Structure 1
Amino acid sequence: MANKYFLRQSFIAFGFITHGFCAGMAIVFISSLNLALLSPDATEIRATPDQTSWLASCNTITGLIGYFTIPPIMQKYGRRVINIGTAVIYSIGWLIYIFANNILTLFIARLVHGICLGAIYINCVIASEYSDPKRRGYLVAIKKMFSLIGAFSCHALVLCWTWRQIAIFAIFPNLLIIINGFYWPESPSYLAMVGRFEECKYSFYWLHGKSVEKQNELKILMAAQTERILKHNRNNCTSPIELLYAFRDKVFLKASLVMSVLIFAVDVSGRLYLFTYVIQIMRELVTDEAIAGYCTLIVDLFTITGSIISVFVIHKLKRRTALLFSGILTAILMLSTSLLIFLKEQYKIQSSLTWIILSIVMLQNFVSYIGFIPVTYNIAGEIFPLEYKGIGSSVTGISYMLFYFVTMKFTPFIIDGTGLQGMYLIYGICLLLCILVLYFILLETKDKTLQDIEDEIKGVKRSAIEMKPMLDGTVKLIA
């Protein structure tokens, strides 16, 4: 029989996992919408190719706004507010889609959904703070898996529903998130960070119980945040000064470097460009339009299968091992693809080599989703110290938007200028260089508490003797 603390954490997990599903639907909905807008049989709203391209990319504008505003709100008002708030914003966007009667209204809906891009990595923070260290890895992996299922569901619903009907359906999971969120306790990590220690105790014990191990974990969390609060009070820090301290703190800079390299590595491994330009890539490899379409569906299924397997891989293997191994294997497959395409073009080899190349491309996507991509989302919620969760999420988001723009904007030009073999060669080399850097700077986080990870980054070792004066300070702060 499952213990009640596992059930409680699973109840919380339902909220952020469903959030992943909703995010997946929102991101790929534009492909269903553009298909209808460009159709010669469209009876409602019509658009030009130029308008649809702007419609697809305009969410990055409000995405940047979201990355600058949502993390500070999370740090000031807590995690529950953000979880419920983003679901409300998604629902508003879907309602605008439902009642849209012109292209301008569709732009507004897309811009509203763009705000929630700022919650993509914050959702990983929420998942990490509410989960037991031994469950954190696979719960975040399940969240990522459901974002892919959300995307696949949106694609599948196009076969039988209109885009308005899809928008109506998409509201209901968000309503479940809102209802679920009202029954959450606030995150113990957040409550400790703002000095609400009695509430922190209640929330922590509700989630994790009162075993000796958990009581020690709570003491370390409270002691560390007491130390930070006392230091903050002594220095009389204001928000601009805190921001300056963050960018002068080597701990924050190291965590930012790790996340920036990870995000760039994930982007060049194919998370974005293969997902978006998969049809174009398939058409380059096989001239038959129908075969290219079937290959695209197979790539989607490989992606989902890989994400399902990743739940077990992340639960069993160490983060560094899974990330470095799958990253290296992905790079090797990309370079192999480049070489085989070159040989095919150089020596005019057709059918047999084409199917080998297709198989390697599918295997590459499968391997990256088994370890490399889901582990990155795990680390995104673990790597930043608690005091820097807000600004760290903003920096991560800016890196995400920057690399998103670079890979999405220049991939078609690279394909046109160098061919597929050139694209895979460039991105494969970039991925290998990122893996080399990560080998030296990435620490292991599996089964460690968030406070243990923070202390390891800071180079702090806490003993019972060292903790006593800090715990005395905690008692005074509570009083």
Structure 2
Amino acid sequence: MAFVVSGAALNIAGHGCAHGYPAVLFAQLKASGDLVLTDHDTSWIASAVGAMGIVGNFISPVLMTKFGRQKAHLFTTVPALLGWIIFVMGNSVPLFLIARLLHGLALGLRTPLAAILVAEYTDPKYRGAFLGTFAISLGLGIFLSHLWGAQLTWKMTAGVCAIFPLVSMAIISLSPESPCWLISKGKFEEAKKAFRWVRGEGAEQQEELDAMINSQKEEINIEKQRNDVNRFTCNGMFRNMINSIKDALRIFKKKEFYKPAIIAISMLIVFEFGGAHMFAAYGNTILQAVLNKDEVKDVAWQFTVIDLLRTVCAFFAIFLLKYFKRRIILFTSGVLTILSLSSISIFIYLRDYEVFTASNILDTVPMCLMVIYTLVFCLGLVPLNWVICGEVFPLAYRSVGSTLSTSFLTPAFVVSMKTAPHLYSSIGVQGAFLVYSAVLTVFLAVIYALLPETKDRTLQDIEDDFKGKKKADTEVQMTLLNKDDIVVVN
């Protein structure tokens, strides 16, 4: 089980390298002068990932359904590897754009796939921990790409980053197909072997496997009967098509679908505009402005510290998710992130107006504020983005909901990455931080109004909550039962 998920974790780490790499590329090209990049060029290179990410989001479910989870997962490593090869061999803006488009395709393909892999391969009691490894892998990939970029050339850095998809490809090739997918295709004997390979043997495992197989057999029989009735009649086929469209539209009207969809989309926007990917790509620019430094080399160690903190926070976040409720972590992290971004902005404005002039304040306070921002953001909003998006959708709509919500991730990514350089040059990093604080405030308010507590609750319980159904109070029921049992003696 851990072996299979490690392939996904390495894939996500490669995704982190792809997000961290632009900062290395832009900084080294600017320092060397070998290739002059304008703000227009850098914004397109950084945001090109999102353009193909949208395409990948809609191709991924087709690949997963037709060819299986394992083959779809293996396919995601191909464009990632090709992207790194082009970075190694290329030396022009068009080639950089092609490489980033390939990385975007890989990102779009793996985003809907990642949560499904965890759900189908792992035991329920370990799913939360394995889901938390995605945040660790993402932070580790960004940290390593920046660390290597500080020691190696941008071409050599791309070559080292190519190791991740290669190793991931090898692990995925040795992994079995998803038992759930095999069962859905009626390949029950193959499914039994794959299930025992990833989950082992035991009474609970056998019960879960039998339940899945029996459920699928019932669905196959029902579908066969329906097809026998409508197979050779035009009216039957037309009626099936109309009913399918009606069923799809009916889903969007259900509270248990559209409320989780709004929550998931809001979480993804908070994730993006909170700085999950912007700092990885434009970290040098941000730190130069916040710390008031002239050269990229003047913020090298600070950049490394922030990257390391992101990875460490991802480890600690797993323990927070285990012991604290989702809403407490989410809104504590959200409020503190908004306050830290606003504080950084206010400090820069005051420094520009020479309210602060003492050198010890100018040297220590901005870095301390950046550390606080990194801690509060990466301990809560970053890992919860994966967790909540995986928990809020009821099982019946998880496939549709995951595709719909992740399709909003790439447009948000494009907008945030494309507008960031223009905001930094027009209103400064301090002004951009105020804009991001406002965006976070709006969407966190939406989440606050719609999100129920999901920790340690079943999907059915969460679904009933979105439907508006309330559980009857057990103590009240027992009291009523006791009153009915009272015998009145005259």
Structure 1 residue 139 corresponds to structure 2 residue 139:
no
Equivalent residue number for residue 107 of structure 1: 97
- Taking a change above 3 Å as real, the CA distance of residues 30 and 279 of structure 1, as seen in their structure-2 partners, is closer
Query: So what's the TM-score if we normalise by structure 1?
Result: 0.80
Equivalent residue number for residue 13 of structure 1: 5
Equivalent residue number for residue 476 of structure 1: none
Q: Is the 8 A contact 2:43 2:418 kept in 1?
A: no
Equivalent residue number for residue 297 of structure 1: 304
Moved more, 211-220 or 13-22: 211-220
Aligned residues: 450
- Taking a change above 3 Å as real, the CA distance of residues 377 and 286 of structure 1, as seen in their structure-2 partners, is same
Structure 1 residue 319 corresponds to structure 2 residue 326:
yes
Q: Is the 8 A contact 1:63 1:116 kept in 2?
A: yes
Equivalent residue number for residue 25 of structure 1: 17
Equivalent residue number for residue 376 of structure 2: 367
CA distance in 1, matches of 2:128, 2:357: 43
Moved more, 372-381 or 415-424: 415-424
CA distance in 1, matches of 2:457, 2:177: 21
Equivalent residue number for residue 122 of structure 1: 113
CA distance in 2, matches of 1:362, 1:314: 21
CA distance in 2, matches of 1:257, 1:337: 30
Structure 1 residue 262 corresponds to structure 2 residue 241:
no
Q: Is the 8 A contact 1:75 1:389 kept in 2?
A: no
- Taking a change above 3 Å as real, the CA distance of residues 438 and 215 of structure 1, as seen in their structure-2 partners, is farther
Q: Is the 8 A contact 1:21 1:147 kept in 2?
A: yes
Q: Is the 8 A contact 2:393 2:401 kept in 1?
A: yes
Q: Which runs of 5+ in 1 are unaligned?
A: 1-8, 462-479
Q: Is the 8 A contact 2:120 2:180 kept in 1?
A: yes
- Taking a change above 3 Å as real, the CA distance of residues 168 and 208 of structure 1, as seen in their structure-2 partners, is same
Q: Is the 8 A contact 1:75 1:390 kept in 2?
A: no
Q: Is the 8 A contact 1:121 1:377 kept in 2?
A: no
- Taking a change above 3 Å as real, the CA distance of residues 153 and 243 of structure 1, as seen in their structure-2 partners, is same
1:172-201 CA distance string (max 9 Å, x none) = 332322222233233344345555555555
Alignment of 1:55-454 (within 5 A): 55-100=45-90, 103-118=93-108, 119-194=110-185, 196=187, 199-209=190-200, 211-215=202-206, 217-218=208-209, 236=240, 243-289=248-294, 291-344=298-351, 348-351=355-358, 353-354=361-362, 355-386=364-395, 388-415=397-424, 420-446=429-455
Moved more, 397-406 or 83-92: 397-406
Q: State the shift of 1:71 in Å.
A: 2.3
CA distance in 2, matches of 1:428, 1:224: 47
- Taking a change above 3 Å as real, the CA distance of residues 358 and 220 of structure 1, as seen in their structure-2 partners, is farther
Letter in 2 for 1:150: G
Q: State the shift of 1:210 in Å.
A: 5.0
Partner secondary structure for residue 288 of structure 1: coil
Q: Is the 8 A contact 2:50 2:411 kept in 1?
A: no
Larger Rg over CA atoms: 2
CA distance in 1, matches of 2:274, 2:102: 29
Letter in 2 for 1:20: I
- Taking a change above 3 Å as real, the CA distance of residues 231 and 349 of structure 1, as seen in their structure-2 partners, is farther
Query: So what's the TM-score if we normalise by structure 2?
Result: 0.78
Q: State the shift of 1:38 in Å.
A: 4.8
Q: Is the 8 A contact 1:55 1:110 kept in 2?
A: yes
CA distance in 1, matches of 2:346, 2:222: 57
CA distance in 2, matches of 1:452, 1:199: 33
Q: State the shift of 1:124 in Å.
A: 2.8
Q: Is the 8 A contact 1:26 1:113 kept in 2?
A: yes
CA distance in 2, matches of 1:245, 1:199: 35
CA distance in 2, matches of 1:228, 1:254: 28
CA distance in 1, matches of 2:216, 2:457: 18
Letter in 2 for 1:134: K
Q: Is the 8 A contact 1:268 1:427 kept in 2?
A: yes
- Taking a change above 3 Å as real, the CA distance of residues 447 and 227 of structure 1, as seen in their structure-2 partners, is farther
CA distance in 1, matches of 2:469, 2:194: 26
- Taking a change above 3 Å as real, the CA distance of residues 48 and 171 of structure 1, as seen in their structure-2 partners, is closer
Partner secondary structure for residue 159 of structure 1: helix
- Taking a change above 3 Å as real, the CA distance of residues 48 and 415 of structure 1, as seen in their structure-2 partners, is closer
1:220-271 CA distance string (max 9 Å, x none) = 6567767877787758468766654543444332222111010112223222
Letter in 1 for 2:181: Y
Moved more, 107-116 or 92-101: 92-101
